Structure 1
Amino acid sequence: MSIHEVLPFHEGETSLHHTLHVPDRDNPTQPFLSPFAASVLQRSPLIALGAVDEQGRPWTTLWGGEPAFARSIAPSIIAIKSGVARTHDPVIEILLGAAAPGEVVQGGEKGALMSGLAIDLDSRLRAKFAGRMIAGALQEPEKDSGAAEVQLVVKIETSLGNCPKYLNRKAIHPLPPPAISLIYAADLFFLSSSHPLTPSTNHRGGPPGFIRILTNTPTELTLVYPEYSGNNLYQTLGNYRLSPLASLLIPDFATGDALYLTGRVDILIGPAASAILPHTNLAIKFTTTEYRFIATSLPFRATPIEPSPYNPRVRLLATEQPAGATSQPGAAGTATLLSQTSLSPSISRFRFRLDKAANWKGGQYVVLDFSDELGMGYSHMRDEDPQSLNDDLVRTFTVSSPPSTESGSEVAEFEITIRKVGRVTGFLFKRDGGKKGLTVPVSGFGGEFVDDSTEEGREKTVYIAGGVGITPFLALMGSKVNKGVTLFWTVREVDLGLVADALSKIEGLGAALRLFITGVGAEGGLGGRVDKGEVLGRIVKDGGVVWERRIEKGDLVGEKGGKKWMLCAGKPLRSRVLEWLEGETVVFEDFDY
């Protein structure tokens, strides 16, 4: 059993803890190389290393290829031996300077301060460490090859084991697989922050595309990425509070290319974060002061194995989204649930009253915030439901009720028609119909899936809906279908209650409808909600057509030529229809979950 003094959090860390209301706790960082960190170091095929140049700028690099290329050789002393890029690696330049090949650079107790992260992407193990270079040397195995071998001895002064969240599993190879020809989007990068005593190197991971380009001009390159829920220590961000200088390394594991960046960070909290990266409470804006893009500089490759179950969806910049989706929760007041009407076993219509009347266009959506109702507070890990850890519980729902028929006038009530598919919709379905008391903040109304055509122009419009994708068309049609509009609608037999409800509300819908019924005779039936024969008989009587099969390309051929197509369906059907209608004008909306 080892006994050691508990390290205090430094000023930057305690400042972040106070700002973000983190409960008091002991610092788990240990003032030596812990047995766990030593074990991770021994088995890891990669180490990200950070060091600060003479101008005070941190740089990050990535070394490795084979497990055990770095290992403990004495208590809190490690040795590293790795292939590197001889002339372009910024950390090599900082640590070894202009030393000739074979020349040993002595650091001693006052050697260069450096930080590192040993990481095994296969097992998702990682451990941070920081210390000083005791000695180092560079060897050139092949003349004029551009490659070299570095050997370092480092005295470790602090170490900390980290959790496996946001690590997408990969297998590391010393040589690239011969079949790899594609460039993968970054789902992982490494970063270093500076501090006189506790520099830090760590990783950030997520789904491909989680790091966004805010500006990319000849004079400025700015990146933004979300700080997902972590261990609440805020060691990296604590360093940023004291010194905004930082570095990133973004590797391409398929090609060996690497992008080295150094620059300054801004910590964005609350509204400052969500204004740039909606649905984000904490983000980092990285403004580059210098970068290097080095092709095939990494001495290893990787093949993807499995993404982390904690990866949330990619969060787009505010500038990449329609304006209505980016407003702050509560910006448009609140909405109170008035009633729930069940239309099929998994589809219901919900009616809300706004405390501030609003206007919207048919086909647009409303943004509702359920965080007060469903927020679970902080958890470090949540293996039973990893996706909930970074869920802001803000949802967009297409408004299925029509807007006011008077231009510019506002409406105090609206409806959404939704399928029970997840945490928020599941919560709504448990509200027992018209049970009072549920009031949620409204961010606003928005969306571009609208039809501003004149009444004459709508005579050449064709709607295509997949299941509950009918919702924007319900609002567009209102109480009566425009003359000449045709609706192709594919729906499961079990959801015919939704069709019956639409027929009862919209005059002329039966004549305009081309209905395709799937899942005929599937277990569960119609749930006793509607009479199938009555529903289908009404459509045929009104002049519509019904098929008990999937929609096919040939069904749409007769409508092609000079038409405006509007499509709202899940991804599989949407992809097929867009292929079938190549060359046609198609406006589409999706509701991918």
Structure 2
Amino acid sequence: MDTVRAYHSGSLAIQERVGVRDLADHVGRSIAPGIKPVAAAFLELQPFLVLGAADADGRVWSSLLTGAPGFVRATGPARISIAGGVPDRDPLAGAFEAGAPAGTIALDPRTRRRMRLNGTALPSPRGLAVDAEQVFANCPKYLQKRELYGAEPGARPGAVRRGRALTPGQERFVRAADTFFVASAAPDGVDASHRGGNPGFVRVHSPTELSWFDYPGNSMFLTLGNLEADGRAGLLFLDWSTGDTLQVSGAARTAFGPEGRTTHLRIQQTVETEAASPLRWSAPDYSPANPPLDEGDRWPE
């Protein structure tokens, strides 16, 4: 895929500011419009997929979809099928009736592998289909390793709590997180990505404001480029041991300073779901790439 098509003006602006345009051009050659056999095989092994898109009001969300391995599979050289689609309780339920831009990320904590597929999602007889426009893998940086214990027998989602700000319990949930997923939007589509670090790498400044340090990555700056061009973002936090999820949607901006980049999110809506996932995972083996956080929960030097 040509790098002009891989990167829109927002990503290009960030790459220029940081001084990585040549590297980004090189890395961008890995973005393909189709699904290679190795990518198709990886997808069929996964018990969950994160889907990013905008709801009917234009708010961007990250949503967790789960199923037995094979519930996500490639059905052609540029299409994946997702059995069951989006649950009715989810803020993205009904968002794809006429087709809509979507980003997905398949992440396997067992192997520290991940791949992203962005395109257009639409209803299918099986649930949901996504026609791929961008498919690429990411390095394992900041990805915590976990073992899968299995699915909780007979597990069903519990209460759903919606709000416009974090509760004290949700603030503790965020502060304890070592992983979250982020969906971001721009005029040319939606992207879903991953952020990881040691617990405390996401800071809660108030019930309506979060921030996190943007650790060095692959130099594509797809997420930060979308935030530069648009600003809408949706975060998904998962309690790996209980299956509880916390989704937040809002507007984000990135500040550039001598010590690095910090992204700030102003929360507009929240959705917490008890046992949204039936999957139960082990405690993490933290990535050796995670920068240390000191006792005062300050940013790394």
Pairwise TM-score range, normalised by the shorter structure: 0.7 to 0.9
CA shift digits 1:324-346 (9 cap, x unpaired): xx9xxxxxxxxxxxxxxxxxxxx
Query: Once the 2 structures are TM-superposed, how far is the Cα of residue 206 of structure 1 from its aligned partner?
Result: 1.0
Partner of 1:46: 48
Distance in 2 between residues matched to 1:264 and 1:117, nearest whole Å? 21
| Aligned: 1:88 with 2:89 | yes
Matches within 5 A, 1:139-538: 151-176=127-152, 185-216=176-207, 221-271=208-258, 280-314=259-293, 392=301
Contact 2:105–2:192 (CA<8 Å) still a contact in 1? yes
Distance 2:149 2:38 in 1: 24
Deviation string for 1:191-240 (max 9, x for gaps)?
Answer: 10012323110111111221110112xxxx11111111100110111111
CA contact (8 A) 1:65 1:172 kept: no
Identity of aligned residues (%): 31
Amino acid in the other structure paired with 1:223: L
Gaps of 5+ in 2: 154-171
After TM superposition, give the deviation of residue 82 of structure 1 in Å.
Answer: 4.8
Distance in structure 2 (CA, Å) of the matches to 1:230 and 1:87: 35
Distance 1:304 1:65 in 2: 21
C-alpha displacement of 1:40: 2.6
What do the CA deviations read for 1:279-316 (whole angstroms, capped 9, x no partner)? x4111111101111111112322112522111122368
Moved more, 120-129 or 163-172: 163-172
Residue deviations 1:42-101, cap 9 Å, x none?
A: 2222211001123221111111243322111111111112586x44211224235xxxxx
Contact 1:128 1:161 survives alignment (8 Å): yes
Aligned to 1:125: 113
Q: Using a 3 Å threshold, how does the CA distance of structure 1 residues 311 and 82 change in structure 2: closer, same or farther?
A: farther
Q: Which has the higher strand share?
A: 2
SS at match of 1:199: strand
Q: Identify if the C-alpha distance between structure 1 residues 262 and 315 changes in structure 2 by more than 3 Å, giving closer, same or farther.
A: farther
CA distance in 1, matches of 2:294, 2:77: 44
The question of whether the paired residues in 2 share the 8 Å contact of 1:72 and 1:79 is answered with yes
| 1:115 correspondence with 2:103 | yes
SS in 1 for 2:92: helix
Report the RMSD for the aligned CA atoms in angstroms: 2.6
For residues 202 and 35 of structure 1, the distance between their equivalents in structure 2, rounded to whole angstroms, comes to 22
TM-superposed CA distance for 1:245, in Å, is 0.7
What secondary structure does 1:313 align onto? coil
Q: Which amino acid in structure 2 is aligned with residue 9 of structure 1?
A: Y
Q: Secondary structure at the match of 1:67?
A: coil
User: 2: distance between equivalents of 1:232 and 1:270?
Assistant: 17
Matched residue count? 277
TM-score, length-scaled by structure 2: 0.83
The CA deviation at 1:250 is 0.5
Structure 1: distance between partners of 2:222 and 2:229: 11
Which structure has more helix as a fraction of its residues? Answer: 1
The normalised TM-score by structure 1 is: 0.44
4+ residue runs over 6 A deviation: none
1:45–1:119 contact (8 Å) kept in structure 2: no
C-alpha distance in structure 1 between counterparts of 2:114 and 2:67, whole Å: 16
After superposition, the Cα gap between the structure-2 partners of 1:313 and 1:65, relative to the gap in structure 1 and judged at 3 Å, is farther
Partners of 2:38 and 2:257 in 1: how far apart? Answer: 35
2:33–2:78 contact (8 Å) kept in structure 1: no
Q: Distance in 2 between matches of 1:59 and 1:17?
A: 25
Q: Which amino acid in structure 2 is aligned with residue 37 of structure 1?
A: A
Helix, strand or coil for the counterpart of 1:170? coil
| Distance in 1 between residues matched to 2:15 and 2:295, nearest whole Å | 27
1:59–1:94 Cα change, 3 Å: same
Match of 1:374 in 2: none
Partner of 1:547: none
1:77 equivalent among 59, 65, 79 = 79
Question: Helix, strand or coil for the counterpart of 1:203?
Answer: strand
Q: 1:176 to 1:55 in 2, by over 3 A?
A: same
- 2:15 corresponds in structure 1 to 17
Deviations 1:382-407 (A, max 9, x none): xxxxxxxxx74xxxxxxxxxxxxxxx
CA distance in structure 1 between the partners assigned to 2:226 and 2:89 by the alignment: 27
**Which structure would you say has the larger Rg?**
1
Q: CA shift at 1:246, angstroms?
A: 0.5
1:32/1:158 contact within 8 Å kept: yes
Contact in 2 for aligned 1:128/1:159 (Cα 8 Å): yes
1:240 match: secondary structure: helix
